[in-house]
Amino acid sequence: MDRIRIRGGAPLNGTIPISGAKNAALPLMTASLLTDETLELTNVPRLADVSSLLRILSNFGVDHMIAGRRPGQTSETGQTVRLTARTIIDTCAPYELVSTMRASFWVIAPLLARFGQARVSLPGGCAIGTRPVDLLIMAMERLGATIEIDGGYVVAKAPRGLQGGEIVFPKVTVGGTHVALMAAVLANGTTVIENAAREPEVADLANCLVKMGARIEGGGTCRIVVEGVSRLHGASHEVLPDRIETGTYAIAVAMTGGDVTLTNTRPDLLQFALDTLGQVGVDISVTNEGIRVRRNGAGLEPVDVTTDPFPGFPTDLQAQFMALMTRAKGTSRITETIFENRFMHVQELARLGASIRLDGDSAFVDGVKRLRGAPVMATDLRASVSLVIAGLAAEGETMINRVYHLDRGFEALEAKLGRCGAEIERIKS
């Protein structure tokens, strides 16, 4: 298994291009199952999760083509993926494929909507909590599907097609909203989704579905109304920038000091997190080139943060922000409200010298004068990158083991940081 070695202490200076969002690309790729025509997606990041989903879609019989690089494009220019689900040979997604990535469970909705049946293994994914699928099942049932659990598989049926209905989510769920949208676009009649997730990735999926001929109002708001249509057609859509990657590099610069411009991204995708960095003492400005992040020698102010659904502070930036607060001039309280088990980075950060006390859903982080390099282990995607951030500021060498988690969600991480002055290298196994 590959490892990443970091020598901490170097400030970051330069430009980091932000990739297309993993969490937008995955539902968009899934939406290709809704039509027999070609869905072209541009700005798709080169990530392990994208490859895993391509494998699952191929298994169903979806043709895919990855367009070659055009002159002037670098290895970090997002790729163009064309997906054509003309002939589907199988509507079953087996355990071996679904267990590695929770988002692959979402294929159940377009398969059910277009073919009237689907059999999909219960999902896996990052070990960050129990992560049930009861609300995704509820959404499909509200549209008239019958659902059974059979030997670890969810079997969904709607032989006469789905019927529009009212879906009221008792809590905000991104995956639940994606599933509800993809099921509703081909249902007969009107569907109203209440308490829908407002994450930009939901709005991106809704925008793409509209280009494919869907009739959707309110994508990206808490009330989405879908007027079902009988068929969708092909379209071309650019995946929106990755707000979590943007926030991660902004936090990395806050941690090391320096001056970095994040390009190909948008501040409105993570305004709350950028404002929080401002409170901590980081200089954030928006220029023609992108988001400029600067910190000179001044210390970091401690700040209390609570994760919340969009537009609140994202749970997917919680671990990275905690790494930053290990160096603040006092105690910060970080409260996690989305996933109950998303503190596994705490013990690894402690190996680098961080002082963190857990109390229920809160972590109390006492800033320390210095972190010291040590061997650490990546436990999930965002936890892994929090260790990279801590390692960039730690004295001496940090060796991060099990980096396959990072490859699921961060494209060309070492190259992007290395070009800005970080001493970081991958050691191939």
Instruction: Show the DSSP H helices in 160-222 as ranges.
Output: 174-184, 200-211
What single-letter amino acid sits at 7? R
Residue from 60, 249, 321, 339 touching ligand EPZ (CB under 6 A): that is: 339
* Min dist. Cβ of residue 417 to ligand EPZ (A): 19
Report if residue 338 touches ligand EPZ, rule: CB under 6 A. yes
Query: How many angstroms separate the CA atoms of 337 and 38, rounded?
Result: 39
In the range 12-31, which residues lie near ligand EPZ by CB under 6 A?
A: 23, 26
Query: How many angstroms separate the CA atoms of 202 and 424, rounded?
Result: 34
Report if residue 175 touches ligand EPZ, rule: CB under 6 A. yes
Say whether 80 sits in a helix, a strand or coil: strand
* Min dist. Cβ of residue 281 to ligand EPZ (A): 27
* Min dist. Cβ of residue 240 to ligand EPZ (A): 12
In the range 370-389, which residues lie near ligand EPZ by CB under 6 A?
A: 381-382
Q: Who contacts 238 (Cβ-Cβ below 8 Å, separation ≥6)?
A: 20, 41, 42, 43
In the range 298-317, which residues lie near ligand EPZ by CB under 6 A?
A: 315-316
Distances (CA, A) of 264 to 242, 243, 256, 360, 412: 9, 11, 22, 38, 15
# residues contacting ligand EPZ (CB under 6 A)? 24
In the range 187-246, which residues lie near ligand EPZ by CB under 6 A?
A: none
Question: Could you tell me if 24 and 205 are in contact, meaning their C-beta atoms sit under 8 angstroms apart?
Answer: yes
Tokens at 75, concatenated: 């290895």
Residues in the chain: 429
* Residue number, 10 or 28, with CB nearest to ligand EPZ: 28
* Min dist. Cβ of residue 127 to ligand EPZ (A): 10
Question: Could you tell me if 327 and 368 are in contact, meaning their C-beta atoms sit under 8 angstroms apart?
Answer: yes
Residue from 103, 140, 284, 413 touching ligand EPZ (CB under 6 A): that is: 103
Query: How many angstroms separate the CA atoms of 282 and 301, rounded?
Result: 9
126 is catalytic: yes
* Min dist. Cβ of residue 20 to ligand EPZ (A): 13
Catalytic site residues?
126
Which positions touch ligand EPZ (CB under 6 A)?
23, 26, 102-103, 126, 129, 131-136, 171, 173-176, 315-316, 338-339, 381-382, 409
